[in-house]
Amino acid sequence: MNFPVITQEEVKTVMDDMDINKSPGPDGLTLEVMRELFFLDPAWFTELFNNCTRQGVFPDNWKIAKVILILKEGKDLTEVSSYIPICLLHTWGKVHDKIIALRLCFLKSIWFQKTKVTIDSS
């Protein structure tokens, strides 16, 4: 499938819509820092996401998660079942995921309209 080119405005909008208070992944890169880096060179960021999308690649290091355990309230510290595992993912991957998810939601809305044909979505 040929996705339209990802724009700088799209990357900025996705990052602006994300919760800045979310915990960073294994690399420690917060969304706040990523936004600042984006403003230094938005073309580089946009091209990175476009290259990943064009090549159908989701970099392996973006798939690595940091798992932290949260103790359930009032539970025994020594019991494994007393903990909830939380996976912290790389911010790069979260941004890329959101861009792709928004694209797919848009395409889905076009594909399933009775008055449209598949050619209308290109």
| Prediction pTM value | 0.76
pLDDT at residue 4, as a whole number: 83
φ/ψ of residue 56, rounded to 5: 65, 35
What are the tens digits of pLDDT across the range 89-108? Answer: 999 999 999 998 887 876 55
What are the tens digits of pLDDT across the range 22-36? Answer: 999 999 999 999 999
What are the tens digits of pLDDT across the range 63-90? Answer: 999 999 999 999 999 999 999 999 999 9
Q: Are 92 and 62 in contact (CB under 8 A)?
A: yes
pLDDT at residue 65, as a whole number: 94
